[in-house]
A = this chain, B = another copy of it.
Amino acid sequence: MDQSARQPLYRQVKEFISDKIDSGELATGMRIPSETELVTTLNVSRMTVNRALRELSDEGRIRRVQGRGTFVAERKPQSPLLEIRSIAEEIRARGGRHSCTVHVLQEEKASPQLAAAMQLAPYSTVYYSVIVHKDNDVPIQVGCRYINPAVAPHYLEQDFTRCTASEYLLSVAPVSSIEHVVEALIPDRWIRDLLQVNSAEPCLALHRKTWVGEQVATFSTFYYPGSRYTLGGRFHPSSLTTISLT
- Which A residues form the contact surface with B (CB < 8 A)? 57-60, 73, 75-76, 78-90, 93, 141, 143, 166-167, 169-170, 175-186, 202-204, 207-210, 220, 222, 224, 226, 230-240, 242-246
Contacts and interface: CB of A to CB of B under 8 A. Distances in A.
Contacts of A186: 202
B93 A85 contact: no
Contacts of A183: 204, 226, 230-231
A182 B222 CA distance: 14
Give the number of times this chain occurs in the complex, counting copies. 2
B86 A181 contact: no
A189 to B, nearest CB: 16
B204 A81 contact: no
Main secondary structure, interface of A, reads mixed
6 contacts: A59-B236, A79-B90, A80-B239, A175-B237, A176-B237, A202-B202
A58 B239 CA distance: 7
A191 to B, nearest CB: 13
Contacts of A238: 57-60
Contact of A84 (B81, B85, B175): B81
Contacts of A169: 245
Contact of A181 (B79, B87, B230): B230
Given A85-B81, A86-B246, A177-B240, A204 B226 contact: no
A28 to B, nearest CB: 13
A95 B106 CA distance: 41
Contact of A235 (B87, B177, B244): B177
